[in-house]
């Protein structure tokens, strides 16, 4: 049996064991994954948490779960404390780059040796952001990488990992904290990750202005960047830009002239 089918059977049974008709929230604990696997006679994956991670960031939930979400919503999985989770209905779960957005060419400053030896899509994306100062370009402030893969905890959530944490300063002297979630390959940005990043920054850096960012590879050299804002309706996309990294000679005078006339 494939890993995908194993994970699907486990998450489906965990959900059904806890679901009640009309529920908009379904809580479960990590240990239930082990119990369900034993009940179904399924060999547990080495990393039990990967079952949850898979459906939070990579795979779609099975139809048996999706069909029980109220019309116009879908289920997302949120952390709910140490080794605790909950399915929750949401109108917006995944962040997908717009197909209608214009591209902006950026002269590629990624060192060739980095391009050659990047070990994963996520690591490659973080490196491209860093070497091309795309967070600076996107936010309009001077940014510095503070820490990569920051593992910490957030009140009421539990363990959180931020792919890269930047701090920044603007022309007024105001200070910012900029958590970045980066996804490549088949992984997808989820609104829950952004909410978790904001919760960490609120707890750890209460006096800094938080500007949460999501980064997604569209193709090898085309990167989508999103900035988010907390609203009464939940986390929303405040702005989105697509940057294509090109050799300097591929950026023409005509394109530079066009960029000068852009409103934003």
124-156 pLDDT, tens digit per residue, is 999 999 999 999 999 999 999 999 999 888 777
**Domains in the chain: how many in total?**
2
192, 121: one domain? yes
Give the β-pairing of 234-246 and 103-107. Answer: parallel
Last residue of a domain, one of 45, 71, 91: 91
Q: Do 9 and 42 contact (CB within 8 A), yes or no?
A: yes
- The answer on 148 and 56 residing in a single domain is no
State the pLDDT at residue 4: 59
Domain of residue 13 covers 3-91
3-state secondary structure of 25: strand
User: Does 227 map to a domain?
Assistant: yes
Pairing of strands 175-183, 213-219: parallel
List, for residues 147-186, the tens digit of each pLDDT value.
999 988 877 777 788 999 999 999 999 999 999 999 887 7
Same domain assignment for residues 77 and 196: no
Contact 227, 213 (CB under 8 A): yes
Does residue 98 lie in a domain region? no
Instruction: Assign residue 225 the CATH number of its domain.
Output: 3.40.1350.10
- Enumerate the β-bridge partners of residue 103: 242
Answer yes or no: is 59 within a domain. yes
Judge if 28 and 131 occupy the same domain: no
Task: Give pLDDT tens digits for 89-98.
Answer: 887 667 889 9
3-state secondary structure of 74: strand
């Amino acid at each position: 049996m494939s890993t995908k089918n194993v994970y699907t059977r486990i998450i489906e049974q965990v959900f059904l064991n806890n679901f009640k008709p009309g529920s908009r929230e379904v809580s479960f604990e990590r240990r239930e994954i082990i119990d369900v696997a034993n009940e179904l006679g399924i060999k547990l994956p080495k990393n039990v948490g990967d079952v949850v991670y898979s459906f939070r960031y990579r795979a779609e939930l099975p139809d048996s779960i999706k069909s029980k979400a109220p019309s116009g919503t879908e289920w997302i999985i949120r952390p709910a404390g140490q080794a605790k989770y909950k399915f929750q209905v949401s109108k917006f779960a995944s962040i997908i780059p717009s197909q209608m957005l214009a591209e902006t060419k950026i002269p590629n400053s990624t060192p060739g040796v980095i391009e050659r030896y990047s070990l994963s899509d996520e690591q490659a994306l973080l490196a491209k952001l860093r070497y091309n100062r795309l967070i600076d370009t996107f936010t309009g402030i001077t940014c510095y990488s503070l820490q990569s893969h920051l593992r910490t905890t957030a009140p009421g959530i539990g363990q959180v990992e931020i792919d890269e944490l930047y701090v920044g300063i603007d022309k007024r002297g105001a200070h910012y904290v900029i958590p970045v979630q980066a996804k490549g390959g088949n992984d997808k940005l989820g609104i829950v990750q952004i909410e978790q990043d904001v919760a960490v920054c609120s707890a750890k850096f209460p006096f800094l202005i938080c500007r949460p960012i999501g980064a997604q590879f569209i193709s090898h050299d085309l990167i989508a960047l999103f900035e988010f804002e907390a609203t009464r309706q939940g986390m929303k996309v405040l702005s989105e830009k697509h940057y294509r990294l090109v050799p300097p000679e591929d950026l023409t005078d005509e394109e530079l002239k066009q960029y000068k006339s852009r409103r934003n």
